[in-house]
Structure 1
Amino acid sequence: MSSATTSAAPTTGSGSRAPQTVGLMIVLATVMVGTTMPTPLYADYEREFGFSLLTVTVVYAMYAVGVLAALIAFGTWSDVLGRRPVLALGVFFAAASDVVFLLADDTAVLLVARVVSGLSAGVFVGTASVAIIEMAQGRLSARAPLLASLATIGGLGLGPILASLLVTWAPSPLRTTYWVHLGLMVVAALIIVAVPETRGRHRDEKLGLMPLTVPAEIRAFFVRAAILGFAGFAVMGLFTALAPTIASRFAGVDSVIGQALLVAAVMGGSLAGQIAGRALDDRVSEIVAITMMIAGMALLVATLLAGHWELLAAAGLVGGFGQGVAFARGLSGIATGAPADRKAATTSAYFVITYIAISIPVVAEGLLSRAVGVKTAGIVFACVVSALALTAGVLAWREQTRIDDDTQKADATAH
């Protein structure tokens, strides 16, 4: 038996925790806002520090390094210490990243700021999502996973929009942006102090690194989900890091706000895809994810060739929708297929792959852009993502064929 020294949240009344649930959603969204706020500022950093598009992709990718480090190092801490201490740690990292951004005077400091920002997301997003699910009661309970996704994706989408507004209308955007988010983190800290704990501290459990394992019984599904998830998060990473560059160079969008809205398009598509993915049949969801992802990449190629911002917006919405369906399908399949004592480790392994996908492909895109140009590199990127999606589809077809053959053989033997 675990001995908890911190009492869990009260359970009286189906609606008694609604304000606290909403409060946690607000905190999760505001932390995630900070992780995408730098996107509209990269052009200003390029001018101020004199770095290239390749450096933009590297700066962006360092965020994923921080996320991966946090997932592995702190992934089990909230099960031992309780949710609130780890949520507070995540807010601390978010505030610390704002401070480092405020102090940034060269590219090296920017890299550190992005790593710390990644630490905040890696520490916070999983713990906050679990806390929201534990906090929700009554009618909110069934919707809690969707509410957590709404807060996460909503925050990611709002970050570039808020920053672009500050770039357009506020003085010293490279400073004001982070002062604003630092103020939001003060509010977030106050909310964490106010909400009740949903899991007491377990003194008989030890802090340790998050194990990353994939059980044999779910390995075939995991490989398909990981390939499709990798493709989908690569799309999200490309839009978050490079959509402003593509919009300005090929679609004639010079407005920082307009560029931010195009970045947000992929987040909106992802959220819609996650909602739809929960309602779709397993086979149908895989087909929809693959089809939408390939269609999104075709629209991206069309943008690079024809130069219309409407095509870029459609590419974000459609590709994001495919990513959202794939992500919802992957998490759902792991939750139902992995053994109870291996769910957390398997889910963490899936997240590690998805966060690698928002870093390495984006840096590869930057390197390729330097060698052959942004247009050609973008077309190559679209082809690789489409090939990955098709590979996942072929694996799914082969697995289903094997299952059908085994079923027919079993029926024949029975008769």
Structure 2
Amino acid sequence: MSESRTMPERTVVEGRGSRVFHGQGPVVVPAWWIWLAAWPVTAVFILSNAATPLYVLWQRDIGFSKGTLTVIFAFYIVGLLGSLLVSGVVSDRLGRKPVLLPALVLALAACAIFATASSVAALVVARLFTGIAVGAVVSAGMAAVSDVAGQERKRRAALLASCAMVFGAGLGPLLAGVMSEVLPAPTVAVFVVEAVFLLTAVVAVVRMPIPRPETPSGGSRVRIPGVPQGSGIQLTLGIAVFAPGITATSFVLSLGPSLLSGLLGTTSRVVAGSMAFAMFLTATGVQFAVQRLSRRTILAAGAASTTLSMVTLIVAVHTSSVPVLIASALLAGAGQGMGQLGGLSLLNSAVPPQRLAEANSALNMGGYVLAGVLPVSAGYLSDAVGLTRGATVFGALLMTLAVVGGCVVAANRLRTTESA
């Protein structure tokens, strides 16, 4: 089934699914290829948060404030959003590999810059490159998993693509936290290991059995991603829950180490990395736990989890309670995981493969715009009025948005009753 085989083949698009035919009939892609197709998503998302426990080292060596830290994080969002404007549309027209391979090369470049960073500018560039690579994998990479799975296994594809994203996002800070404590040259060793992961992802993409796209249509390749007519409500419902969820986890990633330092008086990179890992491990596990529930139930539970996360965040910063802060992080992970699974499942059920990467881009743009603006604002507000007040304002605002998202899902119950 690899595209490198010399056997003649033709690609036939059947409804919303694609099959590759080899002369005598269709060849079924083995189930293990679906898991392997998700590896590039995991590898790039390991990079996306690997720097989180290391910022305390860079702050010590370079010297910058919490506000500057959130700006460095925001450049990741800038790169991601810029990538989403292009990668989804280009992937649907030219294929997944022409988007994924350059993204992996850029991720390797980001590793090199992180490993040698000695200024804020270097960190900004590395985060920008990382964001561009992540934008490519959340559109083309997740769509590739669906392509490999085919129409008959679209539910499994949505689950594995979503879990690959959140598991990688959690594994990155854990590995970085542990390795930076036990290995020499902590800001170098982490990214050397990650570069090896990315190289294996390159091999996986090259060998991936992805159907060739149909003849590209005209139109601009740089545009605001969208969905086909009639699928707008599925996109809206997904964003309504996914956006507050990923904003909550983004806050924990960007300011979690500062909160731990304030509450515990510690700058342990293992503790910071472990909290982020536990958050995303929860996001992974909860998706397997709820996969057979209706989409409406999954989305409603995601909104409720994000709401409770912000309540516990406010309690944590006012009581200086580390256990409550950890509970807030775990609830945030559950909220993102369920919002992400519900949103991807809705899109997989309503959008044909020819537009799926663009639809994935639209969902993630809706989430990451909020995830970029609010944590940065909270960082600068915390510099001005203190971390406790800044986190309180952030928590109250995001809690309101999560409640609104839950209400949007409840008002559209007929659209979300099918199982994920």
TM-score (normalizing by structure 2): 0.84
CA positional deviation for 1:19: 4.3
Separation in 2, partners of 1:160, 1:342: 33
CA positional deviation for 1:379: 1.1
* Residue 370 (str. 1) matches residue 383 (str. 2): yes
Q: Name the counterpart of 2:211.
A: 199
Contact 1:304–1:378 under 8 Å retained in 2: yes
Q: Name the counterpart of 2:98.
A: 85
Separation in 2, partners of 1:260, 1:141: 33
Pick the aligned partner of 2:336 from 314, 318, 323.
323
Contact 1:71–1:210 under 8 Å retained in 2: no
* Residue 42 (str. 1) matches residue 55 (str. 2): yes
1:274-328 CA deviation, whole Å, 9 max, x = no partner?
Answer: 3345433344334322322221112112221222322222111122212222232
Separation in 1, partners of 2:150, 2:359: 27
1:171-208 CA deviation, whole Å, 9 max, x = no partner?
Answer: 11122222222222222223333x24412255544571
1:63-108 CA deviation, whole Å, 9 max, x = no partner?
Answer: 1111111111221222333222322112111101112223422111
- The number of aligned residues is 396
Separation in 2, partners of 1:340, 1:213: 14
Contact 2:92–2:356 under 8 Å retained in 1: no
Q: Which amino acid aligns with 1:132?
A: V
TM-score (normalizing by structure 1): 0.85
Q: What are the within-5 Å matches in structure 2 for residues 3-402 of structure 1?
A: 17-136=30-149, 142-193=155-206, 195-200=207-212, 202-205=214-217, 208-213=221-226, 222-223=235-236, 225-336=238-349, 345-396=358-409
CA positional deviation for 1:129: 1.8
Separation in 2, partners of 1:137, 1:350: 21
Most deviating of 275-284 and 58-67: 275-284
Separation in 2, partners of 1:188, 1:400: 39
Separation in 2, partners of 1:62, 1:153: 20
Contact 2:95–2:212 under 8 Å retained in 1: yes
Q: Gaps spanning 5+ residues in structure 2: where?
A: 1-7, 12-19, 415-420
Contact 2:284–2:337 under 8 Å retained in 1: yes
Separation in 2, partners of 1:83, 1:108: 31
Contact 1:277–1:326 under 8 Å retained in 2: no
Most deviating of 36-45 and 320-329: 320-329
1:110-129 CA deviation, whole Å, 9 max, x = no partner?
Answer: 11110101111111232222
Most deviating of 46-55 and 301-310: 301-310
Separation in 2, partners of 1:82, 1:252: 50
1:207-253 CA deviation, whole Å, 9 max, x = no partner?
Answer: 71244346785656654543432211110110111111111211455
CA positional deviation for 1:397: 5.2
Contact 2:227–2:362 under 8 Å retained in 1: yes
Contact 1:77–1:86 under 8 Å retained in 2: yes
Change beyond 3 A, Cα 1:205–1:31: same
Contact 1:269–1:320 under 8 Å retained in 2: yes
- C-alpha root-mean-square deviation of aligned residues, in Å? 3.1
CA positional deviation for 1:395: 4.2
Where 1:163 maps in the other structure, the secondary structure is helix
Separation in 1, partners of 2:233, 2:93: 32
Q: Name the counterpart of 1:412.
A: none
Most deviating of 78-87 and 369-378: 78-87
Separation in 2, partners of 1:202, 1:225: 28
Most deviating of 70-79 and 221-230: 221-230
Contact 2:351–2:359 under 8 Å retained in 1: yes
Q: Which amino acid aligns with 1:200?
A: R
Change beyond 3 A, Cα 1:136–1:222: closer
Most deviating of 240-249 and 76-85: 76-85
Q: Gaps spanning 5+ residues in structure 1: where?
A: 402-415
Separation in 1, partners of 2:147, 2:341: 19
